[in-house]
Chain A
Amino acid sequence: MVIDWLPSILIVVLLLLGVIGMLRRASLWRAGQPEKVNIIAGLMAMPGRYLKDLHHVVERDKYMSKTHVATGGGFVLSMVLVLVVHVFKVEEQIVAWALLGALLLMLVGAFFVFKRRLNPPERLSKGPWMRLPKSLITFALTFIVLTLPAAGILPDGTGGVLLIAVLSVGIVIGLGELLFGMGWGGPMKHAFAGALHLAFHRRPERFGGGRSTGLKPANLDASVIGVAKPSDFKWNQLLGFDACVQCGKCQAMCPAFAAGQPLNPKKLIQDMVVGLAGGSDANYAGSPYPGKEVGQAKGSPNEIITAGLVSQETLWSCTTCRACVEECPMMIEHVDAIVDMRRFLTMEKGETPNKGSEVLENIIATDNPGGYAPGSRTNWAADQNLAVMKDKKEVDVLFWVSDGAFDMRSQRILRAFVKLMKAADVDVAILGDEERDSGDVARRLGDDATFQSLAKRNLATLGQYKFNKIVTTDPHAYHCLRNEYADFDKDGALAGVEVLHHTTFLNQLVQSGALKLDAFKGGKVTYHDPCYLGRYNGEYKAPRDLLRSLGIEIAEMERSGFRSRCCGGGGGAPITDIPGERRIADMRMEDASATGAELVAVGCQQCTAMLEGVVEPRPQVKDISEILVDQLIEEVH
C-alpha cells in the first residue's frame, strides 16, 4: 500500500528540500569576497575541531555541554540510522536497536533542552528557538514508534493507517525542523553552517589550543577599503555569522552592552545574517541594542551596512576586548567584523566620531595620539640614565616605552619598571625619540593605512639594531609587536626576537633570583587582567605569580582570567566615547570593590588611567611594577 511508503517518501523529500536549502544558503555566502582555505584539510579537521575546540568552550557550562552531546550526538547518529532503516530498509534487528538507542539518547537530551527553555535566561533568544525542543522531542518520539516494528518489539502493521498518518505528521514536524529548517534558516541552521564554519574558519590557528588574535591587514589598494556592504566580507566570515546559535554568551560578557551602550554582539551578528540573506530584523527575538528598537533594521548583501542595518554608534561602542570571541561556542570573530566595518567608516567616509579624527591626525603628524613634539618623547627619562639604541646598537633587552612616555601617570609606571631593571642589572636600552606609536589606536579606529605606515617605519628602525628581547609595559603595544607586526616584517627585524610584557619579564627575573623582594604588608589585593595581555596573549599567570612572590593572596574578582571584564579603555573607546547609561570603568571598579580589596593591581597604563578615573572612595590602583618597586630590597654596595 502507498501509505506504508509514506514515511520513507517524506524522509527523502524533506532531506532533498533540506539539501536544496543548504545549497541556496551556500550561494549566499559565496556573495562574499574570495579567501583561500584548504577545503579538504578543513573538512578532515572539522570533527576534531568540533569535539575538542568547540566542546572545550561549551563545557564551561556543564549542563549545556552534556545536553548538547546527548541531543546533537543522538540526532546525528539517529539520522544516519533512520536512512539505513527507513529508507534503505536494512532489516537487521541490531541496526533498529541501535537506532532506538540513539533516539532515546536524543530524547533525553531534548528533554533537558526543553527544561532549559521553561524559564530561559535573558541572554537566550526566544522566537523560533522556543519551539526547537518540542520539534526535537517530536522527532525522537516519532521515530521511536516508527522503529519499534523493525526492532521486533511490535508486529508489523501495528496501528494501521491511522498510526502511519499520525507518524507522518510527526515526521513532517520533526524533520521539517531538523532537515528542512537546517537549510532554510531555521534554528537548526547552526548545525550545518557551524560545522562548515569550523572547517573553513578564517583563523584555523585557533584550533588545537592555539591563539590567533592579530587583526588581518586591510587591502589598501581595494576600490573600497574595509567593509561597506555584507558582500565585502570574506565568504567565510559570512559563513561564520550564519553559525550563530543565539546563545547570548557574548551579550552576557560584553562590557558595552552591560554599560547600556548601543551594542549587543549577538544582535550585531544577527544583523549581519539579515544583511547576507536580505530582509529586516523583525523576526529577531533576542535582546536589542540597548536603547534601540528591534524591527527597524533593513539590509541586503549589496546595501551599505551603516545605511539602515547597523548604526555607526553600535560599531564604535566596541572596546575590542574580545570577551565575546572568547565566549562564543561557535568561535565567531565579532571583533574582526567590527574593525572591518570601522575601516570603511574611517578610511572611506572619514567619519570617526568625537575625538577620533583629531587623534588620528595627531598620530599621522607627530607619531603619537596626543600631538606632542616627537622630540620630547624621551623627556620623561631625563633623570633615568637610560642607554639609547642609537648609541648602543646592540643590547640584550630593548625597552619599548610606548606613548605612556607623554603621560605623567604612566611615567610613574615606566620609572618603577626602569628601577626594577636596574636593580636586576639588566642590559637594557630604549629607542628614545626614534620610537613611534605602535599604531594600536589607529588600527582599532579603523585607520589601517596609518597603522601599516607606523608598523613599517617602526620595523625599519628596529631592523637597524640587535637585541634579544623587546619588553614593554603597554599590553597594546605588546600585542601589536608580537602579533600584528609580523605581516609587515619583510626584512625580519623581529625574527627570533622574544616579545615580552613587563610582568612576564619581571617574573623571570624574580624566579631566577635577580630581584630580591620583601613581603607585601598592605591590605587585600585584587588583580585586573588587561584584555590585551590576557585574552589577546594568554598571559594570566606571570602577573599572579609576581603578586604571590610578594606573599599576596589575590582576592580574585568574579570576572577574572579569560572572563575578565574590560576597563573600557580599549579599541579607541575612550576617544570615540559613545554614551551609555553607565561607564564601563565604574562597573569594573565595582567588581574590584566587591572583593573587599584595598588595592587593584593592573598591568596596563590604559587600565590604570581608566580605573583611576573612577571617583573615590575606591581601592587604590597600581601597576604591578609599582607594587614591586615598593618592596624592592636594594643592595648597598
Chain B
Amino acid sequence: MPHKVISLISVGRHPQSGRSRRADQDSRAVELGLKLAGTDLDVVHAGNAEEPVLRQYAGMGLQKVTVLEQTETADAIPALSSYLKAEKADIVLTGVRSESGESSGMTPYLLAEQLGWPIVARVADIVEIKDGEAQVLLALPRGQRRQVTVKLPFIASIDNAAQAARQSAFGPGLRAKMDTQTGSTEEDNVRVNWSEAPAKARPKRLKVVKAKTAADRFKAATAKPQGGLGKVMKNESAQEKAQAIFDLLIEEKVIR
C-alpha cells in the first residue's frame, strides 16, 4: 500500500541578499518526499497562493502545490494540523526551522503535539518503510548517523545533511497548479507581538589552539569531541539537575 507523504514548505530567505527563496531544509524535505512518494507527494504551504517562491518549489517537478490560503499574520498550525488529519498522512516532512518569520523551529513539535504523533528531529534519510514502521537515519554532528525505527504516522524534521534538493526548472514551476483551500483565520498572537531586528553577531568563545603540530590540529578538527567535562545525571533529583544546569550557565557567563 502506498504511503501518504506530505512535505510542508515555507518561504525561505537568502542569507546574503535577504531575498525570498526556496528554503534549504524545506526543499530537502520535498526532495526526500519525492524519493519516498514520487509524483504522489503532496506538498503543502500555509500562506499566500500568489507567492512566487512556491513556483520555485513546484519547479522540482510537482504537478500541484496545496496552499492553505491565509494571511501573513495567521497561525499556520491549526490549518496544517486539520489538513494533515483530514488527509490521513503517514509521514510529514518539514524543515528543522524556517528561514523567515518566527523561525522558532516549533512547527513540527506543535503539530506532533496536536496530532499526538511521534516526532523525529534532524532526519538525514528515510531508508525503508515496511509493516507500518520506518527506518530513519538521524543526522548527528560530524557526519555520524543514528538509525531509529519509528511507527507511522510520524513527523520528521529534515536536517541539512539530507539529500540536497534537485534543480528547480522554470517551465514546470510556472505551469504547476496552485490548489487553494481555506486556511485558518486564527491570529498568531505570539508572532504579532514580536518585533523583527537584524541579528547581532553572537560573541564566540575564544579558541585557544593548544596543538603544536599539523597532525594535532587535524585531530582537533576532526576527532570526536571527548566530552570529558560532561556529567550524566540520571538518578539525581530534579532539584539537583536544575542546579547543575544553573551552575553551568553561570560558569559559561550566560547568566550573570
Do the two shown chains form a genuine complex with each other?
Answer: yes
A residues sitting closer than 8 Å to B (CB atoms) are 220, 224-225, 346-352, 356-357, 360-361, 364-367, 371-374, 447, 449-450
Report B-chain residues with C-beta under 8 Å of the C-beta of A348: 169-172
A350 and B16 contacting across the interface, CB-CB below 8 Å: no
- Tell me if B202 counts as interface (CB < 8 A to partner A): no
What is the distance, in angstroms, from A333's C-beta to the closest C-beta of chain B?
A: 23
A357 and B167 contacting across the interface, CB-CB below 8 Å: yes
Question: For chain B residues 1-59, which have a beta carbon within 8 Å of chain A?
Answer: 14, 16-17, 19, 21, 59
A449 and B170 contacting across the interface, CB-CB below 8 Å: yes
B17 and A374 contacting across the interface, CB-CB below 8 Å: yes
- Tell me if B183 counts as interface (CB < 8 A to partner A): no
Indicate which residue in A225, A347, A352, A366 contacts B16 across the interface (CB closer than 8 Å). Answer: A366
Given A350-B60, A365-B14, A366-B14, answer yes or no on A225-B19 (Cβ-Cβ < 8 Å).
no
A350 and B17 contacting across the interface, CB-CB below 8 Å: no
Indicate which residue in A220, A357, A372 contacts B170 across the interface (CB closer than 8 Å). Answer: A220
Given A350-B59, A350-B61, A365-B21, answer yes or no on A372-B16 (Cβ-Cβ < 8 Å).
yes
Report A-chain residues with C-beta under 8 Å of the C-beta of B16: 365-366, 371-374
Report A-chain residues with C-beta under 8 Å of the C-beta of B174: 220
Report A-chain residues with C-beta under 8 Å of the C-beta of B171: 224-225, 347-348
Q: Which of A365, A372, A447 has the most CB of B within 10 A?
A: A365
- Tell me if B166 counts as interface (CB < 8 A to partner A): yes
29 sample A-B contacts, Cβ–Cβ < 8 Å, listed by A number: A220-B170, A225-B170, A346-B167, A346-B169, A347-B169, A347-B170, A348-B170, A349-B169, A350-B59, A350-B60, A350-B61, A350-B167, A350-B168, A350-B169, A351-B167, A356-B167, A357-B167, A360-B167, A361-B168, A365-B14, A365-B16, A366-B14, A366-B16, A367-B17, A371-B16, A373-B16, A373-B17, A447-B170, A450-B170
Tell me, in angstroms, the Cα distance from A351 to B167 when the chains sit together.
7
Tell me, in angstroms, the Cα distance from A3 to B227 when the chains sit together.
106
Report A-chain residues with C-beta under 8 Å of the C-beta of B19: 365-366
A365 and B17 contacting across the interface, CB-CB below 8 Å: yes
Report A-chain residues with C-beta under 8 Å of the C-beta of B168: 350, 361
Tell me, in angstroms, the Cα distance from A450 to B21 when the chains sit together.
14
Indicate which residue in B14, B21, B166 contacts A350 across the interface (CB closer than 8 Å). Answer: B166
Report A-chain residues with C-beta under 8 Å of the C-beta of B167: 346, 350-352, 356-357, 360-361
Question: For chain B residues 54-74, which have a beta carbon within 8 Å of chain A?
Answer: 59-61
Question: For chain B residues 61-112, which have a beta carbon within 8 Å of chain A?
Answer: 61
Question: For chain B residues 158-202, which have a beta carbon within 8 Å of chain A?
Answer: 166-172, 174
Q: Which of B16, B61, B170, B174 has the most CB of A within 10 A?
A: B170
Tell me, in angstroms, the Cα distance from A225 to B174 when the chains sit together.
11
What is the distance, in angstroms, from B27's C-beta to the closest C-beta of chain A?
A: 10
What is the distance, in angstroms, from A452's C-beta to the closest C-beta of chain B?
A: 10
Tell me, in angstroms, the Cα distance from A347 to B172 when the chains sit together.
8
Tell me, in angstroms, the Cα distance from A447 to B56 when the chains sit together.
14
Closest 5 CB pairs of A and B: A350-B169, A357-B167, A350-B167, A373-B16, A365-B14
What is the distance, in angstroms, from B1's C-beta to the closest C-beta of chain A?
A: 30
What is the distance, in angstroms, from A30's C-beta to the closest C-beta of chain B?
A: 25
Tell me, in angstroms, the Cα distance from A346 to B60 when the chains sit together.
12
Assuming A346-B169, A347-B170, A373-B16, what are 9 further A-B pairs, CB within 8 angstroms?
A220-B174, A348-B169, A348-B171, A350-B167, A350-B168, A361-B168, A366-B14, A371-B16, A372-B16
Tell me, in angstroms, the Cα distance from A373 to B169 when the chains sit together.
24
What is the distance, in angstroms, from B15's C-beta to the closest C-beta of chain A?
A: 9
Report A-chain residues with C-beta under 8 Å of the C-beta of B169: 346-350
What is the distance, in angstroms, from A388's C-beta to the closest C-beta of chain B?
A: 19
Report B-chain residues with C-beta under 8 Å of the C-beta of A347: 169-171
Which residue of A has the minimal Cβ distance to B172?
A: A348
Which residue of B has the minimal Cβ distance to A221?
A: B174
Report B-chain residues with C-beta under 8 Å of the C-beta of A365: 14, 16-17, 19, 21
Tell me, in angstroms, the Cα distance from A348 to B175 when the chains sit together.
10
Tell me, in angstroms, the Cα distance from A576 to B21 when the chains sit together.
23
What is the distance, in angstroms, from B49's C-beta to the closest C-beta of chain A?
A: 20
Tell me, in angstroms, the Cα distance from A373 to B166 when the chains sit together.
23
Report A-chain residues with C-beta under 8 Å of the C-beta of B59: 350
Report A-chain residues with C-beta under 8 Å of the C-beta of B21: 361, 364-365
Tell me, in angstroms, the Cα distance from A350 to B61 when the chains sit together.
9
What is the distance, in angstroms, from B201's C-beta to the closest C-beta of chain A?
A: 15
Tell me, in angstroms, the Cα distance from A402 to B51 when the chains sit together.
30
What is the distance, in angstroms, from B82's C-beta to the closest C-beta of chain A?
A: 33
What is the distance, in angstroms, from A352's C-beta to the closest C-beta of chain B?
A: 6
Tell me, in angstroms, the Cα distance from A372 to B167 when the chains sit together.
20
Which residue of B has the minimal Cβ distance to A447?
A: B170
Tell me, in angstroms, the Cα distance from A225 to B172 when the chains sit together.
10
Question: For chain B residues 126-141, which have a beta carbon within 8 Å of chain A?
Answer: none
Report A-chain residues with C-beta under 8 Å of the C-beta of B60: 350
Q: Which of B16, B168, B172 has the most CB of A within 10 A?
A: B16
What is the distance, in angstroms, from A278's C-beta to the closest C-beta of chain B?
A: 26
Report B-chain residues with C-beta under 8 Å of the C-beta of A224: 171
Tell me, in angstroms, the Cα distance from A351 to B168 when the chains sit together.
9
Tell me, in angstroms, the Cα distance from A450 to B14 when the chains sit together.
17
Tell me, in angstroms, the Cα distance from A119 to B71 when the chains sit together.
76
Tell me, in angstroms, the Cα distance from A357 to B166 when the chains sit together.
8
Tell me, in angstroms, the Cα distance from A352 to B168 when the chains sit together.
10
Which residue of A has the minimal Cβ distance to B168?
A: A350
Report A-chain residues with C-beta under 8 Å of the C-beta of B17: 365-367, 373-374
What is the distance, in angstroms, from A161's C-beta to the closest C-beta of chain B?
A: 68
What is the distance, in angstroms, from A552's C-beta to the closest C-beta of chain B?
A: 42
Which residue of B has the minimal Cβ distance to A353?
A: B167
Tell me, in angstroms, the Cα distance from A220 to B170 when the chains sit together.
9
What is the distance, in angstroms, from A120's C-beta to the closest C-beta of chain B?
A: 44
Report A-chain residues with C-beta under 8 Å of the C-beta of B172: 348, 350
Report B-chain residues with C-beta under 8 Å of the C-beta of A351: 167
Report A-chain residues with C-beta under 8 Å of the C-beta of B14: 365-366
Report A-chain residues with C-beta under 8 Å of the C-beta of B61: 350
Which residue of A has the minimal Cβ distance to B174?
A: A220
Report B-chain residues with C-beta under 8 Å of the C-beta of A373: 16-17
Tell me, in angstroms, the Cα distance from A326 to B21 when the chains sit together.
41
Tell me, in angstroms, the Cα distance from A606 to B170 when the chains sit together.
27
What is the distance, in angstroms, from A376's C-beta to the closest C-beta of chain B?
A: 8
Tell me, in angstroms, the Cα distance from A366 to B14 when the chains sit together.
8
Which residue of B has the minimal Cβ distance to A376?
A: B16
Which residue of A has the minimal Cβ distance to B60?
A: A350
Tell me, in angstroms, the Cα distance from A536 to B210 when the chains sit together.
58
Tell me, in angstroms, the Cα distance from A364 to B61 when the chains sit together.
19
Report B-chain residues with C-beta under 8 Å of the C-beta of A367: 17
Tell me, in angstroms, the Cα distance from A371 to B18 when the chains sit together.
12
Which residue of A has the minimal Cβ distance to B175?
A: A223
Question: For chain B residues 205-242, which have a beta carbon within 8 Å of chain A?
Answer: none
Q: Which of B169, B172, B174 has the most CB of A within 10 A?
A: B169
Report A-chain residues with C-beta under 8 Å of the C-beta of B166: 350, 357
What is the distance, in angstroms, from B31's C-beta to the closest C-beta of chain A?
A: 12
What is the distance, in angstroms, from A219's C-beta to the closest C-beta of chain B?
A: 11
What is the distance, in angstroms, from B10's C-beta to the closest C-beta of chain A?
A: 16
Which residue of B has the minimal Cβ distance to A352?
A: B167
What is the distance, in angstroms, from A228's C-beta to the closest C-beta of chain B?
A: 10
Which residue of A has the minimal Cβ distance to B169?
A: A350
Tell me, in angstroms, the Cα distance from A419 to B121 when the chains sit together.
56
Which residue of B has the minimal Cβ distance to A446?
A: B170
Which residue of B has the minimal Cβ distance to A347?
A: B170
Report B-chain residues with C-beta under 8 Å of the C-beta of A447: 170
Report B-chain residues with C-beta under 8 Å of the C-beta of A356: 167
Tell me, in angstroms, the Cα distance from A347 to B61 when the chains sit together.
11
Tell me, in angstroms, the Cα distance from A346 to B173 when the chains sit together.
12
Which residue of A has the minimal Cβ distance to B14?
A: A365
Tell me, in angstroms, the Cα distance from A347 to B168 when the chains sit together.
8
Tell me, in angstroms, the Cα distance from A303 to B167 when the chains sit together.
24
